[in-house]
Structure 1
Amino acid sequence: MISLIVNLMLPLTLLCAVILLLHRPLLARLGAHNTYMLWASVPLLLAGTLLGLLVPARLASPSLEQLQHYRVLAGELLSQGDNPTLNLILASIWLLGSLTLLGALLYQATQLKRLSNRAEALELPQALSQGPLSLTGRETSLVIKCHPEIDSPMLAGLFKPVILVPTGFTQLAPSQQAAVLSHELKHLTRHDIAANLFGYLLATLFWFNPVCWLAYRRFRDDQELACDAEVITHMDKQQRIAYSQTLLAYSQQAHLGMLHTHYGNKTILKERIMQMKKTHTKRPLAILGLALTLGLSGALINQSAIAGDKHNDEHHDKAKAPSPVMRIEPAYPAEAAKQSVEGYVQLAFDIDKQGKVSNVSVIESSPAGVFDVEAVKALSQWRYEASPEGVSQAKVQLDFMMSAPKAEIERVRVTAG
């Protein structure tokens, strides 16, 4: 799991960083609605990267003819000491962080459910059921509730959505009430609650990456800007002014919830009002194409990085060389390190359908017997990609060196894995 997270993190971080850095010019040129659609490139990127990681494993030959080389450096291993223990600690920290965030999600879902149950149903004025709301289909059964603990209107609930409004909502002018409800209905028709949940779950997987949290926050803000753009499309000047006044009325610092929208948000209040002065044409197909391009580009970047890391040598046969998904570094024998002894061990082994290594044997070693025990012990713990038939008589060579070779020295294949 950790290996998969690491492989996905590079392209995801690059894509989010590009969108964040170019957000202002994109918003100015494309508009709020089109900019919000660009975030569709994130799931496309993840899907493309997963395909890039899984497909080669399915197409790989079940036999391994070429001898793979991996280097084992004395200095690095002696300083690292217990590498498996470190990996276990890091995995435990990641799991603890993810479970904590998932617990926060569950807690908020419980709180929202309790708040919704305690709220009083609000009857929609007849004047508001006509015109801009145009309730149809699923929207006709939507319940509007009022509760004093609510500071800003919100759409809450994934399977049974409800609009929750503050107690002072009924004191607003009918046009302002209609604007608020229209905004929340846009969230409903676009399934924004499900999108928010998906974004939050991604953030829990990469909780240690600050770029992902910045992107999640920007995604949520773009969501509100896009809803504003949808609502004001057919409004005249006076209606837009009333809508702006409604935003000012609910400009508190609303809590960014995972299972509800946040209508009132003073951090982007100025940005939302400025966007109301602009109109942009929707370009769903063009923006979807751009999002698809960004997603595929990120996946290609990731594949290039993996290729550069694993296939540097031009003589390496990629089709016949499955690479380990988890590689335990052999311990460099202390006595050999003290005497600056270098050498290699060639090993043969089998890989079962689950990717586990078995039947490890030494083909050749130099100096004989110096590195054999540590090489066999480490290789027995390696893990490869699962395959329908497994691999028999795979071969690998572990080069034990005191330091990394110079760049000008030509080797068949040297990699850190």
Structure 2
Amino acid sequence: MNELVDLLLRATVWMTIASVLLACLRPLLLRLGGAALAYRSWVLMPLLLLAVVLPLPPLVGVERIPLPTLVALPSVAAGVQAFSLDGMSVLLFAWGAGVAVMLARACIAQRRFVRAMGPLQRRDDGSWQATSDPGLPALVGLLRPRVVVGPAFDSMFDARQRALVLRHEHSHREHGDPWGNAALLLLHCLFWFHPLGGWTARRFQRDQELACDARVLADDPAQCRSYAMALLAAQGVHPGVAVACHWRGPSQLKERIAMLKQGKRGWVSTTSGQLLLAGLCIGAGGIAWAGQAVQPPHIVAPASADRQATAIQRVAPAYPKEAFERSIAGNVMLRVVVGTDGTPTDVRVTSATVPGVFDAAAVQAARQWTFQPALKDGVAVATTLQVPVTFSLDNDGPLP
């Protein structure tokens, strides 16, 4: 459980960093590459989240000294550890409940929106016409998205505007925007507690619409006026579901019309923007990946040391109360980095037979240990140790 909470915390931090970076760089990206580059920059967020969970390669050339197995028995008091385990369980339960509530709300809203459209009828232009208008036109669905228009579609737009609206929604489908909205919804549910979640979602959908506008008008800039009039004609429509690409969101009208007036960027500006985005993704992704488990510097191979590190005092871990009550036993393998002063500078769980049950107790005890540091050429050096810890319900020795 500790690992999951730690992963959520690190992912939350990097999600915040990605949101701030994209907000700060958006004006520059728009100036260099237009709306398409601004929308493409959102790839930074899943990239950083992937970098957080991608494991680091093992250290090369660092030998770890195995120490004798330390056995923890139930006779050792475990008040602090029991509280830690219970508190962690409460946090994970609250997070899981929040995810379930957010997913349920999204599914209910989607279902209500689909049912509010009423029966659909196929049109000659390939779209579908609804009997009522809960927020149309829109591209609705994920696996088989359909362009759905309202009952007043023909009277609301003239022929040229109708063609532009349909081209807009078909562009959403061709570029997989419904999948982008689904990924956004999933992230919003997983990080429901994030204070910038709603703000980030609105800006993602804004850039998605601006990029789609740019694609539609890229081949025929002369349609700009008709496109703007079509946006104005639908200004009373207020969409409200996540997994649908709507013709217009109520807060985007002014910016979308302003973006229609901007001309096409030159190749120098566009290339510069793409290089900037690539550098941002590589740099931030590399930092997120390398920073998930920063390795202490100056670790040497014990085989080359004049004297290996030895344990002076090892405090037995407290047996978790909940594990004792449920008759749970297990093994934990610790990786302990001993500094030049003989104190542990980094303690991590490398493996556990019952993950999450004994990890916190073993790590907390290891941080209290003291060692005689290793020596090389008469100078104390840092060393990595492997320490097996057994949590046993009796005194028969290490578990198999």
Normalising TM by the smaller chain, what interval? 0.5 to 0.7
Change (3 A) 1:246 1:292: same
Q: Residue in 2 aligned with 1:153?
A: 137
Q: Which of 285, 296, 302 matches 2:282?
A: 296
Cα distance change of structure 1 residues 386 and 186 upon mapping to structure 2, 3 Å threshold: farther
Q: Is the 8 A contact 2:51 2:288 kept in 1?
A: no
Q: Which residue of 1 aligns with 2:39?
A: 36
Change (3 A) 1:298 1:8: farther
Farther off after superposition, 152-161 or 208-217: 208-217
2:5 to 2, 7, 27: 2
Residues 87 and 167 of structure 1: CA distance in aligned 2, closer, same or farther (over 3 Å): same
Q: Which amino acid aligns with 2:283?
A: S
Pairing 1:332-343 to 2, within 5 Å after superposition: none
User: Is structure 2 residue 181 aligned with structure 1 residue 196?
Assistant: yes
What's the TM-score, normalizing by structure 2? 0.67
Aligned residue in 2 for 1:187: 172
1:194-244 CA-to-partner distances (Å, cap 9, x unmatched) read 11101211121112112343222211110000111111223354x311111
Q: Render the CA deviation track for 1:129-175: whole Å, top value 9, x for unaligned.
A: xxxxxxxxxxxxx5422332333310001122111212221112101
**1:170 and 2:171 equivalent?**
no
- In structure 2, the residue matched to 1:243 is 227
Query: Which residue of 2 is the match for residue 26 of structure 1?
Result: 29
1:272 to 233, 243, 256: 256
**Residue of structure 1 in register with 2:219 after alignment:** 234
Cα RMSD (Å) of the superposition?
4.0
AA aligned to 1:101 is M
Q: 1:266-306, CA deviations, whole angstroms, 9 ceiling, x for partnerless residues?
A: 31211000000012348787766544433332233334544
Distance 1:35 1:359, change over 3 A: closer
Whole-Å separation in 2 of the counterparts to 1:30 and 1:236: 17
SS at match of 2:331: strand
What is the identity, as a one-letter code, of the residue corresponding to 1:196? N
SS at match of 1:82: helix
Q: TM-score normalized by structure 1?
A: 0.65
Contact 1:256 / 1:262 at 8 angstroms: preserved in 2? no
Three-state SS of the structure 1 residue aligned to 2:161 is: helix
Residues 1:345 and 2:308 aligned together = no
Instruction: Give the drift of 1:84.
Output: 2.0
Q: How many residues align?
A: 318
Q: Give the Cα separation in 2 of the matches to 1:359 and 1:187.
A: 50
Distance 1:29 1:359, change over 3 A: closer
Amino acid at match of 1:230: R
Q: Which amino acid aligns with 2:219?
A: H
Kindly provide the CA deviation profile for residues 360-392 of structure 1, in whole angstroms up to 9, marking residues without a partner as x: 99xxxxxxxxxxxxxxxxx9xx954579xxxxx
> Structure 1 residues 212 and 286, CA, compared in 2 at 3 Å: closer, same or farther?
farther
- Unaligned regions of 5+ residues in structure 1, if any? 68-76, 125-141, 319-342, 349-355, 362-378, 388-393, 402-409
2:377 paired residue number: none
Change (3 A) 1:121 1:307: closer
1:114-134 superposed Cα distances (whole Å, 9 cap, x missing partner): 34662333333xxxxxxxxxx
Change in CA separation of 1:98 and 1:262 when aligned onto 2, cut-off 3 Å: same
- SS of 1:56 mapped into structure 2: coil
| Rounded Cα–Cα distance in structure 2 between residues aligned with 1:197 and 1:190 | 14
Within 2, Cα distance between the matches of 1:61 and 1:201? 41
Shift of 1:183: 0.6
Q: Secondary structure at the match of 1:261?
A: strand
Q: Does 2:68 match 1:83? A: no
- Match status 1:358 vs 2:331: yes
User: Is 1:45 aligned to residue 30 of structure 2?
Assistant: no
8 Å contact kept, 1:16–1:215: yes
Give the corresponding residue for 1:352: none
**Deviating more after overlay: 111-120 vs 270-279:** 111-120
